[in-house]
């Protein structure tokens, strides 16, 4: 009897900590449920430490991202697109082909990415990259967006997905602490995360939740 393939989920993020901020609790939940979660990080964010050699920063960042991934129970692939040059480098390096191959092989049931409402240019770029990839996939998984810098509530007709992260919220915070060198989102407001988690939790009558919009 062939073994049933583990359900797979992919989370895209611009910088090394985005997947944790946006979906860390859900990732840990899915992993604990036995699903295979892969996060794809597009940039180390090397500009944050201009006085250090790029290579040193990349190694540091990779180490931090892998530490966070271990805590959440996911696997992380890191690419090295230059900050604010995502689309340019993405094209130059022919990353589309590689990612299409990876996603088509992985056949995730869900893909998570940045929101179009996020004002950060690198986040917008990854949103665009995800949508372009989505159109070219051999199959159509559910596509969700998460929040990093966009306002907590905006008007939309997209259906929401609430994930109860009551049992994984502390893990998410612990994973965020792995990014000791992170300046891109230096000290991402802890209170904002907490406020968001409680507000979303209230909606589904749990202590903490993460909210996503399904856009496809
Ligand atoms: Zn980011």
pLDDT in the model for residue 186: 54
pLDDT at residue 215, as a whole number: 94
Ligand 1 (ion): which residues have CB within 5 A? Answer: 14-15, 18
**Chain-wide mean pLDDT for the chain?**
90
Q: What is the pLDDT of residue 161?
A: 96
Least confident of 85-94, 116-125, 130-139, 177-186: 177-186
Find the 1 Cα to ligand 1 centroid distance in Å: 43
Distance 61 CA to ligand 1 centre (A): 13
Lowest mean pLDDT among 24-28, 62-66, 168-172: 62-66
Look at the alpha carbons of 177, 182, 187, 190 in this order and tell me if their dihedral is positive or negative: negative
Q: Which two tokens stand for residue 152?
A: 């907590």
Average pLDDT over residues 26-48: 91
Ligand 1 centre and the CA of 6: distance in Å? 29
Band (pLDDT 50/70/90 cuts) for residue 48 is low
Residue 144 tokens, joined: 């969700």
DSSP bridge pairs for 161: 212
- How much distance in Å is there from the Cα of 184 to the middle of ligand 1? 7
Q: Does domain 8-214 have CATH number 3.20.19.10?
A: no
């Amino acid at each position: 009897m062939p073994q049933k393939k583990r359900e797979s989920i992919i989370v895209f993020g611009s910088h090394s900590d985005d997947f944790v901020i946006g979906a860390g609790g859900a990732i840990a939940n899915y992993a604990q449920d036995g699903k295979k979660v892969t996060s794809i990080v597009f940039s180390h964010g090397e500009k944050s430490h201009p006085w250090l050699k790029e290579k040193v920063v990349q190694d540091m960042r990779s180490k931090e991202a892998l530490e966070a991934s271990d805590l959440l129970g996911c696997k992380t692939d890191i690419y090295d697109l230059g900050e604010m040059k995502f689309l340019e480098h993405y094209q130059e390096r022919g990353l589309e082909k590689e990612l299409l191959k990876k996603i088509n092989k992985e056949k995730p049931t869900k893909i998570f990415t940045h929101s179009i409402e996020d004002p950060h240019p690198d986040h917008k770029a990854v949103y665009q990259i995800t949508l372009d990839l989505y159109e070219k996939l051999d199959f159509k998984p559910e596509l969700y967006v998460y929040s990093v810098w966009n306002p907590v509530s905006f008007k939309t007709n997209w259906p929401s997905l609430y994930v109860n992260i009551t049992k994984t919220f502390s893990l998410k915070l612990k994973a965020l602490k792995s990014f000791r060198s992170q300046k891109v989102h230096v000290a991402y407001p802890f209170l904002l995360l907490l406020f968001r988690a409680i507000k979303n939790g209230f909606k589904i009558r749990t202590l903490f939740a993460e909210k996503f919009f399904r856009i496809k």
